[in-house]
Structure 1
Amino acid sequence: MATGRSALLVLALTASAPAAPAAPTWADWVGDYAGTLTWKGCFTPGAARARISLDASDGAMTIELAGAGGGLRAMSLVEEEGGWSAQQGDVKLRVTRPRANVLSLVAELGSDCRMHAQLVRPATKIAACDRLVSLARIEARCTKLTEPPLESPALLAKQRATWKAKADAGRCALRADKLETALIEAGCAPVADPQEFVPGPQCQALTAAIGKLQRCPAASGPTRALAAQLAQVPLVGGTAAEREIVEAACERSRRQAASVALTDRCP
Structure 2
Amino acid sequence: MSAERAAAERFTGQRATRAQPIGGEAFAVTLADGRKVVTKRGQGRGAATAEAAGLRWLAEYGDVPTPEVHGWDEEWLVIQHVSTGVPSTSAAERLGRRLCALHRRGAPAFGSAPPGGPADAWMGLAPMRNEPHGDWPTFFAAYRIEPYVRSCVDKGLFDQAQAEVFDRVCERLPELAGPAEPPARLHGDAWSGNVLWASDGEAWLIDPAAHGGHRETDLAMLHLFGLTSLQYVLGGYLEAAADAGAPLPADWRDRIPLHQLFPLLMHAAVFGGGYARQSLAAAEDALRLG
Normalised to the residue count of structure 2, the TM-score between the two structures is: 0.24
| Structure with the higher fraction of residues in strand conformation | 1
Normalised to the residue count of structure 1, the TM-score between the two structures is: 0.26
Per chain length, whose mean CA-contact separation is higher, i.e. which structure has more relative contact order (CA < 8 Å, sep 6+)?
1
**Structure showing greater Rg:** 1
